[in-house]
Amino acid sequence: MSVMGLFFISIFSFAILWLARQGVFAAHWLEEGEVANHRRPAATEPPPAAKVGLAIFLAVAGCLFSLLAAAFYMRGDAPDWQMPPIPGILWFNTAILVASSVALQLALVAARRAEFERVKTALLIGAATAGLFIIGQIWAWRELLELRFFASSNAANAFFYLLTGAHALHLVGGLVALARTTDKVRGEGRVTRALTTSVELCAIYWHFLLFVWLLMFAMLIGWTDGFGLICRRLLS
């Protein structure tokens, strides 16, 4: 529950700040006339709708993962809880996911500079490494299953599969978007504004998933046990 508390405090403070900037708490609501729509200097453009959409989707996904984390800690209180051994390949996977995120960031930089070939290469590397990460995750699952750590034998195993699975599914969704972007790159043959936006959205999503993965990995290894302990102390 402390996890949800942290999540909400951040979301709501952001929302309230934003509302305040939009003039919700100011007093000029009764005036007539053509007031400026957004409190934004005329020179900057509004962010594209897709970017705002992604930001909100990330909030939703963040909520989902926070809830899973909260459930993880609450369930982890029970005496039968026994974490499975962490397959070594996860370290490798982590490195691959970092590489994937870096590749997409490079693609974004290249797109902003309108270097078409580099965008293409970087996107392909990003997609390949992300694919590799997913294969690596499946490998980790196989390893655990061979060692007979079934989802039904202990809730900790089940959480391991659930968390990594949810994360991998999000990444698969990202790969679909990335494939469409790559497709657009092939079709256009040059860097357009729409393309830069697509690359940027993919990069943001990748960084988000990397961030989620790092927290999740720390949680699975047990580096955050102290945090769980604090939660319990706070609540009892």
Partner 1 sequence: MTDASVPQNLAPPPAEVEDVELYHAHSWITKYVFCQDAKVIAIQYAGTAITVGILALVLSWVIRLQLAFPGAIPFIDANVYYQSVTMHGMIMVVYMLTAIFLGGFGNYLIPLMVGARDMVFPYVNMLSYWVYLIATLVLVSSYFVPGGPTGAGWTLYPPQSILTGTPGYDYGIILMLVSLILFIVGFTMGGLNYVVTVLQARTRGMTLMRLPLTVWGIFAAAVMALLAFPGLFVACVMLLLDRILGTSFFMPSLVELGERKDYVGGSPILFQHLFWFFGHPEVYIVALPAFGIVSDLISVHARKNIFGYRMMVWAIIAIGVLSMVVWGHHMYVSGMDPWFGFFFAVTTLAIAVPTALKVYNWVLTLWHADIHFTTPMLFALGFLVTFVNGGITGLYLGNVIVDVPLSATLFVVAHFHMVMGIAPVLVIFGAIYHWYPKITGRMMDERLGKIHFWITFLGAYAIFFPMHYLGVLGMPRRFYEMGDTAFVPASAATLNIVITIIALAVGFAQSIFFYNLFRSLKYGAPAGGNPWRAASLEWQTPETPPGHGNWGKHLPVVYRWPYAYSVPGAPEDFLPQDAPPLRGEHSP
User: Taking the complex as a whole, how short is the minimal distance between the CB of residue 136 and partner 1, in angstroms?
Assistant: 23
- The values of phi and psi at residue 185, to 5°, are -60, -50
The vertex-210 CA angle with 127 and 113, nearest 5°, equals 55
Query: Does residue 233 touch partner 1 according to CB under 8 A?
Result: no
User: Taking the complex as a whole, how short is the minimal distance between the CB of residue 34 and partner 1, in angstroms?
Assistant: 5
User: DSSP characters for 69-92?
Assistant: HHHHHHHTTSTT--PPPPPTHHHH
Run of H or E including 54 = helix 49-75
28-47: contacts with partner 1 (CB under 8 A) = 28-39, 42, 46
Among 6, 17, 24, 135, binds partner 1 (CB under 8 A): 24
CA-CA distances (angstroms) from residue 44 to 40, 48, 49, 200, 222? Answer: 7, 12, 15, 18, 45
Interatomic CA distance for residues 4 and 184, integer angstroms: 38
Among 2, 59, 120, 204, binds partner 1 (CB under 8 A): 59
Size of the site for partner 1 (CB under 8 A): 57
Query: Does residue 48 touch partner 1 according to CB under 8 A?
Result: yes
Query: Does residue 78 touch partner 1 according to CB under 8 A?
Result: yes
Residue 111 contacts residue 119 (beta carbons within 8 Å) = yes
**Site pattern 162..181 for partner 1 (x: CB under 8 A):** x-------------------
Query: Does residue 117 touch partner 1 according to CB under 8 A?
Result: no
- Among 112, 69, 14, smallest CA distance to 220 is for 69
Among 17, 67, 179, 230, binds partner 1 (CB under 8 A): 67
Query: Does residue 8 touch partner 1 according to CB under 8 A?
Result: yes
Query: Does residue 1 touch partner 1 according to CB under 8 A?
Result: yes
Tokens matching residue 12: 């709501």
Length of the chain (residues):
236
The vertex-147 CA angle with 143 and 148, nearest 5°, equals 115
- The residues binding partner 1 (CB under 8 A) are 1, 4, 8, 11-12, 15-16, 19, 22-26, 28-39, 42, 46, 48-50, 52-53, 56-57, 59-60, 63-64, 67-68, 71, 74-75, 77-81, 151-152, 154-155, 158-159, 162, 235-236
